[in-house]
């Protein structure tokens, strides 16, 4: 994979600016990050996990992909808030009231926490995600622990208000922007592809926490289906490799160094994917 612009194909038609926003961090370890890590026969080491969400702008449209964790919830869970997601949006010039669509890639607390900042936006979720988290297994400890039930209820309420668009295996979100349901990490985990001037950006969200998962074929610790998680890595390979498209991992601190800063004012908060 390469991020060099000359290897990426210029997109035709509608293109967008994609911004990754880093709003939180914590220290963890490989044993806690990888599924059955001792299988690899390597010593445990400490690693940092960063927390991101993404803004897509262009064609008169603003789309927010995931909404980060509620700062109070993050602190309760031992995460460090580097910037309140609401403040981060202001720093990159996004008014939540003017956001057309919010894509929720999955229902974990760190992706769904501030949905109520966007009362006017259409919320896009996968069919299997909504079904699972409103179904009989949603409250079992090991699947429920990365969620907040009141936050899931907010999406259900929005669905009752007719503000939620439910998508299946593949769906167009806007011209040049597609959502692909890959599952694995959660039943309806979504990946987004976005046409940019420099080529296609692939926003993996938590289909890829760390680049190493994809490079070494090592599933992440939290999953609902191992086969789907492996298949998601293959899907990301197909989407990202042929012409060096920009692949954006969901929690890897390397995102902040692989891509250029958005501006001096947003240093350590935002990078431009394209
Ligand atoms: Zn996450």
User: In 2-124, which ranges are continuous DSSP H helix?
Assistant: 30-33, 71-76, 85-91, 109-112
DSSP 115: G
Tokens of 62: 């603003």
pLDDT value of position 4: 41
Ligand 1 mean position to 6 CA, how many Å?
31
Closest CA to 273 of 85, 60, 63, 16: 16
Q: Residue 247: give its domain's CATH number.
A: 3.60.15.10
Ligand 1 mean position to 57 CA, how many Å?
22
pLDDT value of position 12: 61
- pLDDT tens for the chain, 274 residues long, are 344 444 445 456 899 999 999 999 999 999 999 999 999 999 999 999 999 999 999 999 999 999 999 999 999 999 999 999 999 999 999 999 999 999 999 999 999 999 999 999 999 999 999 999 999 999 999 999 999 999 999 999 999 999 999 999 999 999 999 999 999 999 999 999 999 998 999 999 999 999 999 999 999 999 999 999 999 999 999 999 876 789 999 999 999 999 999 999 999 999 999 7
Q: Which domain holds residue 161?
A: 5-272
Contact at 8 Å (CB) between 189 and 78?
A: no
Q: Number of structural domains, the chain?
A: 1
pLDDT value of position 245: 82
Separation CA 104–CA 119 (nearest Å): 14
Q: Where are the beta strands (DSSP E) in the chain?
A: 17-29, 46-58, 61-65, 80-81, 101-103, 122-126, 164-167, 170-174, 177-181, 190-196, 199-205, 246-249, 270-272
Closest CA to 189 of 214, 215, 173, 208: 208
Ligand 1 mean position to 243 CA, how many Å?
27
Q: In 3-state terms, what secondary structure has residue 188? A: coil
Q: End-to-end alpha-carbon separation of the chain, Å?
A: 16
Ligand 1 mean position to 171 CA, how many Å?
22
Ligand 1 mean position to 273 CA, how many Å?
19
Q: Give the global pTM.
A: 0.94
Total number of residues shown for the chain:
274
Q: In 3-state terms, what secondary structure has residue 186? A: coil
């Amino acid at each position: 994979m390469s991020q060099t612009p000359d290897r990426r194909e210029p997109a035709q038609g509608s293109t967008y600016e994609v911004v990754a926003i880093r709003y939180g961090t914590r220290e963890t370890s490989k044993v806690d990050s990888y599924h059955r890590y001792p299988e690899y026969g390597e010593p445990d080491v400490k690693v940092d996990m960063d927390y991101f969400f993404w803004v897509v702008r262009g064609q008169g449209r603003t789309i927010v992909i995931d909404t980060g964790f509620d700062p109070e919830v993050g602190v309760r869970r031992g995460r460090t808030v580097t910037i309140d997601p609401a403040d981060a949006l202001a720093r990159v010039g996004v008014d939540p009231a003017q956001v057309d669509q919010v894509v929720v890639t999955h229902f974990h607390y760190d992706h769904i926490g501030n949905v109520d900042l966007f009362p006017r936006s259409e919320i896009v979720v996968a069919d299997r995600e909504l079904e699972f988290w409103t179904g009989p297994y949603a409250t079992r400890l090991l699947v429920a622990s990365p969620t907040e039930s009141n936050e899931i209820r907010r999406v259900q309420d929005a669905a009752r208000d007719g503000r939620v668009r439910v998508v299946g295996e593949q769906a167009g979100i806007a011209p040049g922007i597609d959502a692909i349901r890959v599952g694995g990490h959660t039943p309806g985990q979504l990946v987004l592809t976005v046409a940019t001037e420099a080529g296609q950006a692939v926003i993996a969200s938590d289909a890829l926490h760390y680049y190493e998962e994809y490079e070494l074929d090592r599933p992440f610790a939290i999953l609902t289906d191992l086969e789907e998680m492996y298949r998601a890595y293959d899907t990301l390979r197909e989407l990202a490799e042929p012409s060096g498209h920009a692949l954006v991992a969901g929690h890897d601190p390397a995102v902040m160094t692989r891509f250029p800063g958005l501006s001096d004012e947003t240093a350590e908060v935002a990078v431009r994917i394209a």
